[in-house]
Amino acid sequence: MNQQKRVIWEPQPKQIEFMQRPEFEALYGGAAGGGKSDALLIEALRQVHIPHYRGIIFRDTVPQLEALISRSMFLYKSSNPKATYNANEKVWKFPSGARIFFGYMQRDDDRYNYQGKSYDFIGFDEVTHFSFLMYMYMFSRCRPTGETPGMKTRQYIRATCNPEGKGMGWVKERFVTAAKPNTTIWDKVTVLTPEGQRITLYRDRIFIPSTVFDNKKLQEADPNYLATLASLPEAEREALLYGSWDSFQGQVFREWKNDSDHYKDRRWTHVIEPFDIPLDWKIMRSLDWGYSKPFSVGWNAVDHEGKMYRIAEWYGCTGSPNVGLQIEPSQLAQGIKDMEEHNEFLKGRKIYHCVADPAIFEKSTGQSIADIMEKQRVYWNPGDNKRIPGKMQYHYRLAFDKYGDPMFQVFNTCKHFIRCIPLLIYSDKHPEDIDTDMEDHNYDEQRYAFMENPIAPRANVLTKIDLNDPLNQRTVEYNRFSHY
Ligand SMILES: Nc1ncnc2c1ncn2[C@@H]1O[C@H](COP(=O)(O)OP(=O)(O)O)[C@@H](O)[C@H]1O
Ligand SMILES: [Mg+2]
């Protein structure tokens, strides 16, 4: 009998690429309208013929999740007419016994709702709205969920996103800058068994970019969508239409430039190649204390014009974003002394001024952190913690004059500062300030250093002329939004 098949959904070429990947983790998208959510929903269906299969798809909030669920009503019901959806439990039950759940995690603690659970397939839609902690926690839940004789399930993780959102930093680092798109990234993990045997294991992951140009179905169904994306303000357009990871909504330091072509001549870039610091320049040290979150220590050299150079740093993070080394104040003091003895730019130099997060002087538990460090002759003065003036000092110092010279530059060896500063975004609650849920420790520490040497407002010559403000009277405020 020649029965005609009714096609409900057919992957488009980029979706095929994503759905064929053998890697344990794959990230799909990086721009709006590329067919990400559809691809993720369909991917979750792949093993529903296996009775013990369990899949879960996450969004950050319930309303967002509802949009996915509503799309699943069509896709899942049309492809599996006997499947049923239970709205209370947010779960699809398939005739084989397989299940696909919908879950949300808004706060880090929400991850514990999944304690003790197991899933073969874990999907994160808009993964940049999740923290690294939530994402990594779910790795421990990705394991076989049972047994069906003769039928094995595959365990793997899939995610989609746009280049925006709080988690953009870790997602960018994990998938986008780690390797060229469409190439497998390998992590080597060494495990010591209780028997003392050392085993080396490997994990792989990949980023498959897609944009609205890869979604012909959407372009046919809604030609206006492209026009909508194209008419967004420049930064949003670059991110959502073209998938740029360097230009996104809410970035605080849009004037930040890291141009390796100019590391040597030090023009039009904030990151530069190290040089020998003249002996008569003063060197200062600043600290943002952290234990479970990273601490940050920075050393700045100040020239005769008051220009500051961040010449060295020690950032206390474990290698996982925003997770601290958990070292005690006395160890921190010792580490600082070691650094000042051995670092090529610091050894033999007098540190003329030291400022720290004023919280380290807090004596509520008896001895303050500053007291403990003082015993090892590492002294601090309380930094000025006025947040908005401190942030404005960043803008004034980052502004380029007509020769491309800013009042602050960073040695390219200060890797963590260079990684974190461009990722800072504005807070939803305090729109003038940065979002303090981000990795902001080196930002704070450098802010204390700036506030010891405040400078007057400077206009950025790279700022576009605002047609509503041809005389540039709002320059300082305008810098925030300019993208040159
Ligand atoms: N393979 C496909 N076949 C038909 N329609 C599709 C396909 N992929 C995506 N679409 C449709 O295109 C639109 C955008 O897709 P969606 O997955 O929501 O994109 P994104 O999540 O990347 O913004 C939706 O209406 C979706 O149903
Ligand atoms: Mg989507």
| Mean pLDDT of all residues in 168-185 | 90
Q: Has residue 339 been placed in a domain?
A: yes
| Mean pLDDT of all residues in 61-86 | 96
- The count of structural domains within the chain is 2
Rounded distance from Cα 322 to ligand 2 centre (Å): 27
Q: Are residues 169 and 303 both part of a single domain?
A: no
What is the domain range of residue 329?
260-478
Q: Are residues 176 and 278 both part of a single domain?
A: no
Q: Has residue 253 been placed in a domain?
A: no
Q: Are residues 184 and 330 both part of a single domain?
A: no
Q: Are residues 228 and 308 both part of a single domain?
A: no
Q: Are residues 187 and 312 both part of a single domain?
A: no
Q: Has residue 3 been placed in a domain?
A: no
Identify the CATH number of the domain in which residue 20 sits.
3.40.50.300
Question: With bands split at pLDDT 50, 70 and 90, how would you rate the model's confidence at 482?
Answer: very low
Q: Are residues 77 and 193 both part of a single domain?
A: yes
List the one residue out of 108, 91, 107 whose CA is nearest residue 99. Answer: 91
Task: Say what the pLDDT of residue 427 is.
Answer: 83
Q: Which residue has the tokens 């793997």?
A: 156
**Is 11's C-beta closer than 6 angstroms to any atom of ligand 1?**
yes
Q: Are residues 300 and 350 both part of a single domain?
A: yes
Query: Tokens in use for 231?
Result: 């008419």
Q: Are residues 445 and 307 both part of a single domain?
A: yes
Angle at 431 between CA 428 and CA 432, to 5 degrees: 150
Whole-Å CA distances, 483 to 119, 247, 250, 391: 43, 9, 12, 18
Number of H helices, E strands in the chain: 14, 16
Q: Has residue 81 been placed in a domain?
A: yes
Spatial separation of the C-alpha atoms in residues 451 and 442, rounded to whole Å: 14
pTM: 0.68
Which atom from ligand 1 is nearest to the alpha carbon of 11?
A: 1
With a pLDDT cut of 90, the percent of the chain lying above it is 73
Q: Are residues 20 and 142 both part of a single domain?
A: yes
Q: Which residue has the tokens 């980052």?
A: 398
Q: Has residue 4 been placed in a domain?
A: no
Task: Say what the pLDDT of residue 467 is.
Answer: 42
Rounded distance from Cα 41 to ligand 2 centre (Å): 10
Question: Which of 240, 275, 303 is the C-terminal boundary of a domain?
Answer: 240
In order, the DSSP letters of 342-401 are H-TTTTT--EEEEEE-GGGG--TTSS-HHHHHHTTT---EE----HHHHHHHHHHHH---
**Is 347's C-beta closer than 6 angstroms to any atom of ligand 1?**
no
Question: pLDDT (tens digit, 9 = 90+) per residue, 347-359?
Answer: 999 999 999 999 9
State the ligand closest to the CA atom of 75.
Answer: 1
List the one residue out of 422, 440, 415, 417 whose CA is nearest residue 430. Answer: 440
**Backbone CA torsion sign across 319, 320, 326, 329:** positive
Closest C-alpha residue for ligand 1 atom 1: 11
Looking at per-residue pLDDT, the higher value among 431 and 480 belongs to 431
Q: What is the mean pLDDT of the chain?
A: 90
Q: Are residues 347 and 230 both part of a single domain?
A: no
Q: Are residues 134 and 167 both part of a single domain?
A: yes
Q: Has residue 302 been placed in a domain?
A: yes
**Is 30's C-beta closer than 6 angstroms to any atom of ligand 1?**
no
Q: Are residues 357 and 465 both part of a single domain?
A: yes
**Is 33's C-beta closer than 6 angstroms to any atom of ligand 1?**
yes
| Mean pLDDT of all residues in 149-163 | 95
Beta bridge partner(s), residue 314: 297
Spatial separation of the C-alpha atoms in residues 249 and 108, rounded to whole Å: 23
**Is 225's C-beta closer than 6 angstroms to any atom of ligand 1?**
no
- Let me know: does 446 contact 397? Beta carbons within 8 Å: no
State the ligand closest to the CA atom of 210.
Answer: 1
Which atom from ligand 1 is nearest to the alpha carbon of 31?
A: 22
In order, the DSSP letters of 105-151 are --SGGGGGGGTT--BSEEEETTGGGS-HHHHHHHHTTBS----BTTB
Task: Say what the pLDDT of residue 478 is.
Answer: 31
pLDDT tops 70 at residue 171: yes
Question: pLDDT (tens digit, 9 = 90+) per residue, 15-39?
Answer: 999 999 999 999 999 999 999 999 9
